[in-house]
Amino acid sequence: MMDQFPSRPLTCIALAMTLGIGAGCSHWIEFAPPIEATPPANTTVATDARVPLLLETIRVTHNGSSIAPPALLERQVLGAIEATRLFSQHFQSGHSQPVADQARVTVRLSIDNVVDPHAGQAAWRGFVISASMFTLAPFISLNYDYAAEMSLEMERWDGQIKRYHATSTGSAHYNLFGANPEIIEQLKGQVTEVCLSSLLNQVIQDSTFYLANKEQPQGGPIRTVSVGVRRSPSRALPVSQPITGASLQ
């Protein structure tokens, strides 16, 4: 006569799978407090005194190895610069260029990324083949640390150069079944944004250095524009809160 109830091992595995898939999907992002060398800057400049900007190079390393800058990163950098409104036009090397004899600011950006997908991976490798992965899933914590160090070189039309530096670090935390490429990409994007905001805030502090001295017509109105760093209010918020108690995603 067959048992009316499933065997205890199968029941345990089924329960563990349910708990593992449910409770194991928590994930969130946290950042180290950013170190701002200068307070946030906003100012007003004469519109006609602004000059074009040329983004000449973006050099990127990943754990010490040079890589080609992703197109998404290039758009993020150029978009952040455009949002300051400090420059009249924005060009990128390899595309349309400013007029040859026109005053301009040339930008060179270096980004050194350090990635460390650590804690918990050894445990994962040890249990991935067996059914015990389901029972351990809610308790195996995986962390993905990401740090960016940026150096910005700004060269004026007359050859004068200013250099700026910024760093940012963050971590993505998730349990075994909570691994998601999206959270990693959000972490990278937000760390990059923190660095860019810090760099451009330093540039805004030196805004008069990047303006051309143009005489205004006598009696004519001086048109001005407000310049500053665009800051996303959600950049430091977690992707999702870690699960506690009996709550499930």
Q: Which two tokens stand for residue 228?
A: 């500053």
Q: How does pLDDT run along the chain (249 residues), one tens digit per residue?
A: 544 545 444 444 344 444 444 444 466 666 666 555 556 778 899 999 999 999 999 999 999 999 999 988 899 999 999 999 999 999 998 888 888 888 999 999 999 999 887 644 444 444 443 444 445 445 556 778 899 999 999 999 999 999 999 999 988 877 655 556 777 788 888 899 999 999 999 999 999 999 998 655 555 567 899 999 976 544 433 333 333 333 333
pTM over 0.75: no
Evaluate whether 24 touches 161 at the Cβ level (below 8 Å).
no
pLDDT of the residue at 88: 95
**Four-way CATH pick for 24-213: 1.10.3470, 1.10.10, 3.30.1400, 3.30.160:** 3.30.160
